[in-house]
Structure 1
């Protein structure tokens, strides 16, 4: 199982690096839209949609992502239209910071098609657009942003397996522990320190703000992971899909990104105006 995870992860990383650095903007936007459509198909499974509704949801989400990205200039590699995405990113941020914590506490079911479609739109469309947006900001910005989540996931996995004793959310995801979460925070802070040293940005005030942001970021990534775990548990599924050997589905790989990438894209929009 671990071997499959490692091999798949290496292949995904190689594909991601090639796509991020070599594809023109319109092709990268198309990739983001395709990922959005695949994730929407899996979302339909979590919401227990019938096959026609799952298919139509996947198509509508992919086309919506492609159209919004094109209309805001992401398909041509410009940022001039990204302020138009501000409301979408803001709704995503509010959803993850205020709605999802309550959702996890109350364990609301995703049992109404209209609600499931609306929530799916809030979860998936901003994430796919943020993938396209941050790549236009800079390939290394996108990879560095995603690396925070990867570092947190890997550290939480191995710290939890080695030191985990106290369950983080036993009724949602029994394998996650507080020790794993603390390991994720520590690893992300070390990653942040390394980036600051590399960039030569070591001022104390700025470092403190970045440290607090990284802790918040890590917490949001864990919330995103727990949210998908809750939906899978409610749907009676182990994984959201089976397209990625050893990793499950697309949603299983981007769950933590859905709660973080749109917020980073939001910050870039706000800082640029």
Structure 2
């Protein structure tokens, strides 16, 4: 299992880097739309959709991503029209910051197909468009944003294994601990300030503002992870899919990105105004 996990991770990273640096903007949009559709198929599994509804959900989400990417100008690599995505990013931000924490506490389910489809759209489509948007700003910008989440995930795993004693959400994800969450925060702070120092970037508002933003970023990424864990537990599934050997499904790999990328994209748009 470990060997399959490592080989899959290497293949995924190599494929991601090749796509990010070699594909034209239109090709990247198509790829993100395909990933959105594949993730929507897995979402349908978590929601208990029958095969026809799962297929229609996957196709419609992928098409929606393509259409919005074209309308916003991202298909050509421009970001000047990305402002039309602000309402979608705002809805995503409100969902993750205010709705999901309550959802985790009350353990709501995706029992209503219409509600499940709407929630799936809010979770997946803004994330896919944010990937296109951030890549249009620069491949390294997008990778740096994703790296923050990866650093948080890796640090949470290893610090949790080494020091974990107090469960973070035992009824949702027994393996996650408060020590792991603290380790994630520390690692993200070190990584974030390290990147800023390396780039010689100024810290608008001061170090405390940057630190608060990184802590919030980490917290939201953990919420995204816990949310998918809850849905999998309710669906009786260990993984969202089997497409990635050793890693499960696409949703298993992007759970923390779904909660963070749209918020970062929203911040970028608002900062540019």
Residue in structure 1 matched with residue 89 of structure 2 by the alignment? 89
SS at the partner of 2:206? helix
The answer to whether the Cα contact below 8 Å between 2:232 and 2:239 also exists between their aligned partners in 1 is yes
Note the aligned Cα RMSD (angstroms).
1.0
TM-score for the superposition, normalised by structure 1? 0.98
Residue in structure 2 matched with residue 162 of structure 1 by the alignment? 162
Structure 2: how far apart are the matches of 1:208 and 1:109? 38
For the pair 1:63 / 2:63, whether they are aligned, the reply is yes
Q: Deviations over 1:171-204 (max 9, x none)?
A: 0000101111011001101101210110113659
More off after superposition, 94-103 vs 9-18: 9-18
Q: Report the Cα offset of residue 74 of structure 1.
A: 0.6
Q: Deviations over 1:79-120 (max 9, x none)?
A: 121000000000000000000000000000110000000000
Structure 2: how far apart are the matches of 1:29 and 1:202? 32
Structure 2: how far apart are the matches of 1:46 and 1:18? 31
Q: Report the Cα offset of residue 257 of structure 1.
A: 0.2
Residue in structure 2 matched with residue 229 of structure 1 by the alignment? 229
Structure 1: how far apart are the matches of 2:230 and 2:5? 22
More off after superposition, 206-215 vs 250-259: 206-215
Structure 1: how far apart are the matches of 2:191 and 2:9? 20
SS at the partner of 1:214? helix
Structure 1: how far apart are the matches of 2:252 and 2:25? 26
The answer to whether the Cα contact below 8 Å between 2:47 and 2:111 also exists between their aligned partners in 1 is yes
Residue in structure 1 matched with residue 174 of structure 2 by the alignment? 174
* Cα 1:106/1:162, change in 2 over 3 Å: same
Q: Report the Cα offset of residue 214 of structure 1.
A: 0.6
Structure 1: how far apart are the matches of 2:154 and 2:238? 19
Q: Report the Cα offset of residue 30 of structure 1.
A: 0.3
**Deviating 4+ runs (over 4 angstroms):** 202-205
Unaligned stretches of 5+ residues in structure 1: none
TM-score for the superposition, normalised by structure 2? 0.98
For the pair 1:144 / 2:144, whether they are aligned, the reply is yes
Unaligned stretches of 5+ residues in structure 2: none
Once the two structures are superposed, the pairs formed by residues 104-119 of structure 1 within 5 Å of their partners are 104-119=104-119
For the pair 1:46 / 2:64, whether they are aligned, the reply is no
SS at the partner of 1:30? helix
Structure 1: how far apart are the matches of 2:63 and 2:204? 45
Aligned residues: 273
Structure 2: how far apart are the matches of 1:2 and 1:190? 28
* Cα 1:236/1:136, change in 2 over 3 Å: same
Residue in structure 2 matched with residue 252 of structure 1 by the alignment? 252
SS at the partner of 1:201? coil
Structure 1: how far apart are the matches of 2:228 and 2:70? 29
Structure 2: how far apart are the matches of 1:57 and 1:242? 19
